[in-house]
Amino acid sequence: MKLIIAIVKPFKLEEVREALTNIGVQGMLVSEGKGFGRQSGHTEIYRGAEYAVTFVPKLKLEIVVSDDLAASVVDAIATTAKTGRIGDGKIFTLNVEQAMRIRTDETGPDAL
């Protein structure tokens, strides 16, 4: 099993969710967050004075899938979350040792 963590632009969430459900993903966790990357935020002007927006709003998606689905999940996110402009985000893939569905005690890929 793989844990895929994707950081995406907030307005891309619906597109990503649709693409993932289309390829058989059955669940995901979404959290709101703020962060910065190589771009280091941007500047805005308020009442005539410039100020740095050092943390930009992002969404963090966490998805656990079976090994055979992982590549297509990464692919689907990369395709739908892409705008081609700076700040599109990142995708990380991690190994998952174990999974368990609390209600039924199922473990492994059956629990996903």
User: Under the criterion CB under 8 A, does residue 32 sit at the interface with other proteins?
Assistant: no
Cβ closest to other proteins, residue 85 vs residue 103:
85
Query: Considering only residues 36-55, where is the footprint of other proteins by CB under 8 A?
Result: 45-51
Q: Are 98 and 112 in contact (CB under 8 A)?
A: no
Cβ closest to other proteins, residue 41 vs residue 109:
41
Distance (Å, whole) CA 38 – CA 86: 9
Helix (H) or strand (E) holding 43: strand 42-46
Cβ closest to other proteins, residue 40 vs residue 79:
40
Distance (Å, whole) CA 52 – CA 73: 34
Give contact residues for other proteins (rule: CB under 8 A): 45-51
